[in-house]
Amino acid sequence: MIIRTAFRPLAFITLTLLVVGCASSPTGRSQFLLISPEAAILESEAAYLSTVGALDQEGKLVTDPKTMGRVSRITGRLVTVAEQNFPGSRDWQWSVAIIDDPETVNAWCMAGGRMALYTGLISQLELTDDELAQIMGHEISHALANHTAERMSRAMATTIGVVAVGVAADNSGAAMAGAALLANVALELPNSRIAETEADTIGMELATRAGYDPEAAVTLWQKMGSLNDQRPPEFLSTHPEPENRQAALQRQIPSMLALNPTRTKAPITEIEIVR
């Protein structure tokens, strides 16, 4: 859905020639990237605009002032903390599309801070503000830690041969097919378990510094696990939950509480709620 227009052939071909090499995540983990974080942001922007445009035409974007205000307030505080701790994100075009889909339990954040939140995630889990902050903090953390570029790099490694054949034959159709294949694989690939653990930790810290209860990270996954007993939510299809995930989050609560013991709310950075 998202990436059908994500990689323009000429841009993609150029990027395949630029092996970025090693980088480090915010936790110090070594990352090998075939696509730069900057290129991931560029391609994500095109994909996001295409996706949001289609949702708008279908009448799927939420315009309820109460829902928009709640999401804007919570996410705006998280963005304030993100920009304080990750200066490179200050130039991002932060935005959230709230998608009217009560059956879908999902949320995501592309490289560059462009996000989506499905109403089913809020309604089916009956999220508190603290739990919603954990969700949005987790997703924002994937972008901050360049996990989008990592996932695209994995897809590139899988499909680079297909595109190379098209380029060698001067066959734009083959190049297009290769780019489309890369896009689909990138979309479907889940984040690695290490990336999920990083996003759990970074997201929990963002939410705590923003003034939200870190214990909500545990109650959130308890609710998610309960829903999973009935039918697996889409959120878990791309956010694998190890058996010890709740325990790992629980162990971090004392150190998180020390970051903001009074739970003072961060200022709200204005972000775009797409409508």
Q: What confidence tens digit (pLDDT) does each residue in 19-75 have? A: 455 667 776 777 777 778 888 888 888 888 888 999 999 999 999 999 999 999 999
Q: What confidence tens digit (pLDDT) does each residue in 92-142 have? A: 999 999 999 999 999 999 899 999 999 999 999 999 999 999 999 999 999
**Is it the case that residue 6 has pLDDT exceeding 90?**
no
Within a domain: residue 140? yes
Cα–Cα distance between 59 and 175 in angstroms, integer? 33
Within a domain: residue 66? no
Which amino acid would we find at residue 30?
A: S
Range of the domain at 202: 9-58+128-263
Q: What confidence tens digit (pLDDT) does each residue in 206-240 have? A: 999 999 999 999 999 888 888 765 555 555 555 55
Within a domain: residue 118? no
Q: What confidence tens digit (pLDDT) does each residue in 68-103 have? A: 999 999 999 999 999 999 999 999 999 999 999 999
Between 190 and 266, residue with greater pLDDT = 266
Within a domain: residue 201? yes
Within a domain: residue 271? no
Q: 186 vs 6, 55, 124, CA distance in Å? A: 10, 21, 28
Within a domain: residue 34? yes
Within a domain: residue 76? no
Active site residue 139: yes
**Please, are residues 182 and 159 in contact by the beta-carbon 8 Å criterion?**
yes
Between 160 and 200, residue with greater pLDDT = 200
Q: What confidence tens digit (pLDDT) does each residue in 239-259 have? A: 555 457 888 899 999 999 999
SS3 115: strand
Within a domain: residue 74? no
For the chain, how many structural domains are there in total? 1
**Is it the case that residue 181 has pLDDT exceeding 80?**
no
Confidence at residue 37, expressed as pLDDT on a 0 to 100 scale? 85
Q: Who contacts 207 (Cβ-Cβ below 8 Å, separation ≥6)?
A: 78, 130, 133, 134, 136, 137, 214, 216, 217
Q: Which of 25-34, 150-159, 173-182, 196-205 has the highest mean pLDDT?
A: 196-205
**Please, are residues 111 and 41 in contact by the beta-carbon 8 Å criterion?**
yes
Please tell me which residue in 131, 139, 196, 198 is annotated as part of the active site.
Answer: 139
